[in-house]
Every structure is written in structure tokens, then in C-alpha cells.
Amino acid sequence: MVNKNQTPSIWQVAKSVLAAMLGVQKSENYHRDFQYGKPSQYIILGLIFVTLFILILIGIVNLVLSLAGV
């Protein structure tokens, strides 16, 4: 259950950022984020998740290239 009178916890912010990356979000969470969330939290976690995503992709490409003998 979402408490609508307080700022979202870091876990709720992380879930919202991941949902945004997938393109899905509950309406109540969307409204909570825009009413009570701090933009800086979403920006920082967004940058962290995008950086991790890019590093994982680089690791997968390097693994595939090493297995292919290139």
C-alpha cells in the first residue's frame, strides 16, 4: 500500500526507475512520484541503472567475441 503523504523510499524510487526503463508504471506510483518525489533521486538512480546496463552489454559483447575467437 502506498502512503501518499510522504516522499517515496529509495526502494520505491528504484522500482519506479526500473519500471520507467521498461516502459510500464502503475498510475498511483506515477502520481506519487510526481507529487512527492525528489527529481535528484530519480536522475541519480537513472544514471546508475543506465551505466550498469551499458557495462553489462559491453561485458556480454566481449564474452561473445572471446568465445567466437575474434
At 5 the pLDDT is 65
- Count CA atoms closer than 13 A to 24's CA, side-chain side: 2
| pLDDT band at residue 69 using 50, 70 and 90 as cut-offs | confident
pLDDT tens figures, 28-54:
988 999 999 999 999 999 999 999 999
At 54 the pLDDT is 98
pLDDT tens figures, 1-28:
555 568 899 999 999 999 999 999 888 9
pTM of the model as a whole: 0.79
Neighbours of 37 (CB within 10 A): 16
Helices and strands, counts by H and E, the chain: 3, 0
By the 10 Å C-beta count (0-12 exposed, 13-18 middle, 19+ buried), 18 is classed as middle
Strand, coil or helix: what is 37?
coil
Which cell numbers hold the place of 4? 501518499
